[in-house]
Amino acid sequence: RFTEHVRADFTARITERSNQRAKDFTSSIQDTTDTIREFRNNSQTRARTILHGIYTRTRDTINAIKDIYRNAKERIRDFFQRADERLSKRMEQETRELHTKTTQLDRKIREHNQKIENERNYSRDGR
């Protein structure tokens, strides 16, 4: 009877201890699973944050390049526009000067032809 009681008590203690160890092991596995899940979620969040940062910097860089290109295009256009304006003004000035010289030359030719005509008429009348 005593031996039977000791054996039952021993079996009960071993069973209880085994059950407790099984619960501890299950709890430990659950903790590990939770830690892995949390790590995965944090990793995904960090990856999204990093990718968003890269996307933002890339977009900002592209916009900066577009601005540089646009500004360069405007500066080039302005440069040639000013150059065209200067060339146009110079051509207008040269055209005015050429017109003035042509008018003066035309007047001198008419005056010279008039002198020749006057001399011919004087010579004819003087005969």
Give the pLDDT of residue 96.
94
Query: Which residues of the chain are modeled with pLDDT < 50?
Result: none
Give the pLDDT of residue 6.
86
Q: 57-85: b or e for each residue (b if 16 or more CB lie within 10 Å)?
A: eeeeeeeeeeeeeeeeeeeeeeeeeeeee
pTM: 0.46
Give the pLDDT of residue 121.
83
